[in-house]
């Protein structure tokens, strides 16, 4: 990019043409206050706090590109006084009594007040009250705290692709609204929560984290979400010296998701109320009785010659490798884990594509971030979408073409304008596979059914059901255990204890869940990702890797 010379605070510098004054200042480690600006959202210069002076004229630094011969001054009396006036107007426009706000301590507007020494209101304040929207399961919207920076609106459309939030009215009466001004809880919101993450004040907050602690009272742990095979980058806020998570944010620097999360990754994972296995136990004629790890090892050793081992895709690579090293060729996947048509595109290809065919999977419900990538192209007017599904699919509301799955053959013939679409699928019937294989212009993105399905494949752990007197199961999804013969002796290593498991398993061994252990897994792109341990186990659960290593050593001795 061509270099040009400009002056900033009387110092001549050489900068890249095309960048904004704010970008150049950041590169030079020069501070310019901002409020509505947030990378990677498009700048709009709405708050005016990033004003600087160029040859006597005030300009917004976030939207003004550098040009030859600019003479920029960042902190003249005119600039500083203008910023103070803008701050006074922002503070007095609505309810910004910080002492009564949950965001006090985390608020960017409050920080600016401290930076510019505001200690009183110069104008009458908070003369009009707006109704608070508490209709959403996870989010509260309080227009009285809003500074109309529109970060939420831009994030909802430009990043998350949902286009739910907008605005109505003008001037001081402007309100952020959902859809056509319906309560957020009744809108088309998918609960991705990005609006709450980017809000600089207390106007949009997530209910769970309210009053649980300010950011300075938390440890921020960078990790990857293991709720599905996308593997989004996350920032987990854990309360210091405690054992609970305050909130989960999307990592804006993550190449996978760029800050976007889905409802499951941001909220549902923190509302996990599934019953946990609190200690290991064995069933006898009178019910379950407690079992220690030595007896578990002895029991497995006694049944070693007659057992098969089943795993699921919730396990990390290190755990799967240990299981394979101990039980060798007796290890199988409890669920199908191979693609019916292999992927030949990546997530980056998907982000840059313009034609999508979604078959038999509701992306809003199961793979929200993949849904965001598709929706921001389609609803942004730069993409075409066709949905084939036999069931209700929420994407049908925005698709250009909607067909029943049994109309696939004729439906594909009608998509003449689709030159080289990406087919997004999770599971396909055999007849559908044959139809698709007859089309040479299609590209494919397989959505693995489990988080680490790719890891199972890489370790050559196949899906196959064997008849056996005894099976060992390691994992979280016990659904398929019901398919085994009722006389099969089942030893289940699992973190959760639903009723089905209590009825079917003979031995239940509690292990840590996803937040309580660390490990690696492969996402749907085949990238090796790390899940960090966030919490300490709450119950008498086994450390699976430690147990397997000890069992391996005992087996070797014998």
Per DSSP, the residues of 359-411 read ES--HHHH-HHHHHHHHHHHTTTS-EEEEE-SS--GGGGT-SEEE-GGGHHHH
DSSP structure class, residue 321: H
Determine the pLDDT at residue 281.
93
Q: Hunting for tokens 């980017």 — which residue is that?
A: 198
pLDDT (0 to 100) of residue 376 = 95
Q: Which of 52-66, 251-265, 273-287, 396-410 has the lowest mean pLDDT?
A: 273-287
Beta strand 528-531 with 519-522 is antiparallel
Cβ neighbours, 10 Å, residue 126: 14
Q: By C-alpha distance, which of 504, 519, 512 is closest to 540?
A: 512
Residue 124 has pLDDT above 90, yes or no: no
Query: 3-class DSSP state for residue 176?
Result: strand
Asked whether the beta carbons of 372 and 161 are under 8 A apart, the reply is yes
In whole angstroms, what is the distance from residue 77 CA to residue 198 CA?
31
Average pLDDT of the segment spanning 363-373? 96
- Cα pseudo-dihedral 391, 399, 371, 513, rounded to 10: -10
- Residue 40, preceding peptide bond in cis (omega within 30° of 0): yes
Give the pair of three-digit tokens for residue 60: 């917004």
pLDDT grade for 558, boundaries at 50, 70 and 90: low
pLDDT tens for each residue of 7-41 = 999 999 999 999 999 999 999 999 999 999 999 99
Least confident of 462-466, 487-491, 516-520, 553-557: 553-557
Number of H helices, E strands in the chain: 16, 26
Q: 528: which residues sit within 8 A by CB, 6+ positions away?
A: 317, 520, 521, 522
pLDDT of residue 500 exceeding 90: no
pLDDT band for position 557 (cuts 50, 70, 90): low
Question: What is the token pair recorded at 127?
Answer: 């003369």
Structure confidence at residue 323 (pLDDT): 97
Interatomic CA distance for residues 334 and 320, integer angstroms: 13
What are the pLDDT digits (tens) for 182-215? 999 999 999 999 999 999 999 999 999 999 989 9
Contact 206, 271 (CB under 8 A): no
List % helix, strand, coil for the chain (3-state, nearest 5). Answer: 30, 25, 45
Report the C-alpha gap between 505 and 523 in whole angstroms: 31
Which phi and psi angles does 521 have, rounded to 5°? -150, 165
pLDDT band at 450 (very low <50, low <70, confident <90, very high): very high
Range scoring the smallest mean pLDDT among 132-136, 168-172, 319-323:
168-172
Question: In 10 A of CB 66, how many CB atoms?
Answer: 24
- Cα dihedral 8, 14, 16, 18, rounded to 10, equals 40
Residue 159 near residue 194, CB atoms below 8 Å: yes
For the segment 462-475, the average pLDDT, to the nearest whole number, is: 93
Residues 6+ apart with CB under 8 A from 88: 118, 121, 122, 123
> Is the model's pLDDT at 372 over the cut of 60?
yes
Count the neighbouring beta carbons within 10 Å of the beta carbon of residue 26.
16
Alpha carbon distance 494, 315 (integer Å): 10
- Give the tens place of pLDDT for each residue, 234-276: 999 999 999 999 999 999 999 999 999 999 999 988 888 889 9
Supply the pLDDT for residue 538. Answer: 82
Residue in 50, 111, 101, 41 with CA at minimum distance from that of residue 75: 50
Q: Could you read off the pLDDT of 288-299 as tens digits, one per residue?
A: 999 999 999 999
- Contact by Cβ (8 Å): 474, 309: yes
Beta strand segments in 25-174, E: 51-54, 57-60, 71-73, 139-141, 165-168
For all residues of the chain together, what is the average pLDDT? 94
Instruction: Please answer whether residues 60 and 51 qualify as being in contact, where contact means their C-beta atoms are separated by less than 8 angstroms.
Output: yes
What span, in angstroms and rounded, lies between the C-alpha atoms of 128 and 148?
15
Mapped onto helix, strand or coil, the DSSP state of residue 548 is helix
């Amino acid at each position: 990019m061509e270099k040009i010379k400009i002056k900033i605070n009387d110092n001549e510098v050489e900068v890249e043409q095309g960048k904004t004054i704010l970008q150049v200042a950041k590169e030079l480690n020069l501070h310019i206050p901002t409020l509505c600006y947030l990378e990677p959202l498009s700048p709009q210069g709405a708050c005016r706090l990033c004003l600087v002076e160029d040859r006597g004229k005030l300009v917004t630094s976030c939207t003004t590109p550098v040009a030859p011969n600019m003479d920029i001054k960042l902190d003249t009396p005119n600039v500083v006084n203008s910023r103070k006036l803008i701050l006074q107007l922002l503070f007095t426009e609505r309810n910004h009594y910080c002492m009564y706000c949950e965001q006090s301590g985390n608020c960017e507007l409050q920080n600016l007040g401290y930076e510019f020494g505001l200690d009183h209101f110069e104008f009458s304040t908070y003369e009009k009250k707006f109704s608070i929207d508490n209709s959403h399961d996870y989010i509260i919207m309080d227009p009285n705290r809003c500074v109309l920076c529109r970060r939420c609106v831009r994030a909802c459309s430009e990043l998350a692709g949902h286009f739910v939030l907008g605005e109505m009215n003008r001037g001081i009466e402007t309100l952020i609204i959902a859809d056509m001004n319906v309560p957020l809880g009744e809108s088309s919101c998918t609960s991705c929560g990005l609006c709450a993450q980017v809000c600089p004040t207390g106007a949009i907050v997530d209910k769970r984290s309210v009053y649980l602690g300010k950011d300075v009272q938390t440890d921020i742990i960078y990790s990857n979400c293991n709720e599905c095979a996308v593997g989004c980058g996350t920032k987990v806020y854990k309360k210091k010296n405690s054992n609970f998570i305050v909130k989960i944010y999307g990592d804006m620097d993550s190449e996978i998701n760029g800050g976007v999360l889905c409802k499951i990754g941001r909220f549902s994972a923190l509302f996990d109320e599934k019953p946990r296995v609190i200690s290991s136990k064995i069933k006898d004629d009178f019910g379950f009785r407690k079992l220690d790890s030595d007896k578990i090892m002895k029991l497995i050793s006694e049944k070693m010659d007659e057992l098969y081992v089943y795993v699921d895709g919730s396990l990390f690579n290190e755990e799967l490798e240990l299981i394979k090293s101990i039980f060798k060729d007796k290890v199988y996947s409890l669920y199908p884990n191979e693609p019916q048509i292999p992927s030949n595109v990546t997530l980056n290809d998907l982000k840059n594509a313009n034609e999508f065919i979604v078959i038999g999977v509701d992306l809003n419900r199961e793979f929200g971030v993949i849904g965001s990538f598709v929706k921001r192209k389609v609803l942004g007017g730069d993409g075409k979408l066709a949905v084939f599904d036999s069931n209700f699919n929420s994407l049908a509301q925005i698709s250009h073409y909607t067909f029943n799955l049994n109309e696939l053959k004729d439906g594909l013939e009608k998509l003449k304008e689709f030159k080289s679409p990406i087919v997004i699928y999770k599971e396909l019937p055999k007849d559908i596979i044959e139809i698709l294989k007859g089309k040479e212009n299609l590209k494919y993105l397989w959505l693995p059914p489990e988080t680490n399905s790719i890891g199972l494949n890489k370790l050559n752990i196949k899906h196959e059901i064997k008849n056996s007197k005894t099976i060992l199961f390691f994992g979280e999804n016990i659904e398929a255990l019901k398919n085994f013969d009722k006389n099969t002796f089942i030893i289940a290593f699992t973190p959760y204890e639903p009723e089905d498991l209590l009825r079917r398993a003979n031995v239940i061994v509690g292990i840590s869940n996803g937040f309580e252990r660390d490990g690696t897994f492969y996402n749907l792109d085949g990238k090796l990702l790390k899940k960090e341990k966030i919490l300490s186990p709450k119950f008498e659960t086994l450390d699976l890797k430690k147990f397997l290593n000890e069992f391996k050593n005992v087996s070797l001795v014998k």
